[in-house]
Chains A and B, each alone.
Chain A
């Protein structure tokens, strides 16, 4: 028996609830992994795909724009499938449709077809990976800046000497982030 119903799961995703995210990962990741591994993908591809699909669901849930005509599991699998085939198409891999296994509600899958711009998703994941690799003080300053805090407030919160220094630090951190991203071979396909 399921521990959460779909409504609770969506609410948990919206609230970034760790227990819910862990539950979804444990319950649903395997089907995404099989989809990817049965269709020319690696474990890393499966993890990236699962994360991206979860982000899509989160963004929709956060905007209260998630109205499902099928179960969350089917919805998640449906987006995973579409996104994965988009990625395969890009890689020009031969894909074997007959390897696919649907988890449930086969007929509902097409109604749930709702896949966003994949390049934006991949960029977002790549940037994010480098962002969390930045020194903690850089992460903090950029978080505050993009949360629309003024340089004065940033200086006060982070106990920096003044606004000017806060601004200078922010530029330095962002430049560091950009440099790291641009050095990443995965970035070449975007620019």
Chain B
């Protein structure tokens, strides 16, 4: 009896009932929401099961993903072990050498370490650290980049709201790059030092604003904002003495 009933659901979903049977079944459904729901569920199920090729593809893909996650083979383990031994060997060599060469007492000035601007798009991401040679003339402007600041680049569609062409970084190291209208544009920020040397470049990404955390030694720097692969504007950043 139940099979006959299920058969009727299946026949209805596959359009196999004649007009009078169809009408009677639809009347029955109208008075029985549970039946109507079951018919809909069966229809969805039939649709998925009818596509056996996709089911097989999903199965194969799942297996491939599991195998892709799997443990590396014996060769890979041997390679890893060999690499570790080589690294340990080299480290030991340099460690012993540095111990031998270093005098017992020496006054050294601490190295001046600059951190590159931290892109805080991903909050948990740690900033990249890079050692940049200290520049004694860090506050002398770069003529080429100063010229670029004066240029109004031809982009009629986007107006830069922030930052200003001249921004001083003191206590708050955040620089907000914001433009209007705030559509998703492929945006990228580059930062140059006063010798026109690129010291930071963000990854191009769809964005309607970018926030960059600036952690640089005191001096003059320049930013360039690129929107949709076109240079949009150039400005100056002055990192003040703390």
Contacts and interface: CB of A to CB of B under 8 A. Distances in A.
Interface of A: 16, 18, 21-22, 25-26, 29, 38, 47, 50-51, 54-55, 58-59, 62, 96-102, 106-107, 109, 123-125, 127-128, 131-132, 142-143, 146-147, 167-168, 171, 174-175, 177-178, 181-182, 190-191
A142 B49 contact: yes
Interface of B: 2-3, 6-7, 37, 40-42, 44-46, 48-65, 67-68, 121-122, 184, 186, 203-211, 228-229
A47 B99 CA distance: 49
A21 B60 contact: yes
Contact of B205 (A100, A143, A146, A178): A100
Given A58-B54, A97-B208, A21 B59 contact: no
A10 B7 CA distance: 40
A97 B187 CA distance: 11
Contacts of B59: 128, 132
B49 to A, nearest CB: 5
Nearest to B4: A171
Contacts of A29: 65, 68
Contacts of A98: 121, 205, 207-211
Contact of B57 (A16, A106, A109): A16
A99 B121 contact: yes
Contacts of B40: 191
Contacts of B67: 18, 22
**7 nearest interchain CB pairs?**
A21-B64, A98-B207, A25-B68, A22-B64, A127-B48, A106-B186, A16-B60
B138 to A, nearest CB: 30
Contacts of A18: 60, 63-64, 67
A147 B56 CA distance: 12
Q: Is the interface of B mostly helix, strand, loop or mixed?
A: helix
Given A22-B67, A106-B186, 18 more contacts: A18-B63, A18-B67, A25-B65, A47-B65, A51-B65, A54-B61, A55-B57, A58-B57, A59-B54, A97-B207, A100-B205, A101-B205, A107-B229, A109-B206, A127-B49, A132-B59, A177-B45, A181-B41
A107 B42 contact: no
Which of A97, A98, A146 has most chain B Cβ within 10 Å?
A: A98
A171 B209 contact: no
Given A102-B186, A181-B45, A191-B37, A62 B53 contact: yes
Contacts, number: 119
Given A16-B57, A97-B206, A98-B208, A123 B63 contact: no
A175 B53 contact: no
Contacts of A25: 61, 64-65, 68
Contacts of B46: 146
A6 B226 CA distance: 30
30 contacts: A18-B64, A21-B60, A25-B68, A51-B61, A51-B62, A55-B57, A58-B54, A62-B53, A96-B121, A97-B184, A97-B207, A99-B121, A99-B122, A100-B205, A100-B206, A100-B207, A102-B204, A106-B206, A106-B229, A107-B228, A123-B44, A123-B48, A125-B58, A127-B44, A131-B48, A131-B55, A143-B52, A146-B50, A181-B41, A190-B44
A112 B166 CA distance: 39
Contact of A168 (B3, B50, B54, B206): B3
B68 A22 contact: yes
A171 B6 contact: yes
A59 B205 CA distance: 29
B45 A127 contact: yes
Contacts of B205: 98, 100-102
B57 to A, nearest CB: 5
A152 B42 CA distance: 23
B48 A128 contact: yes
B207 A191 contact: no
Contacts of A97: 184, 206-208
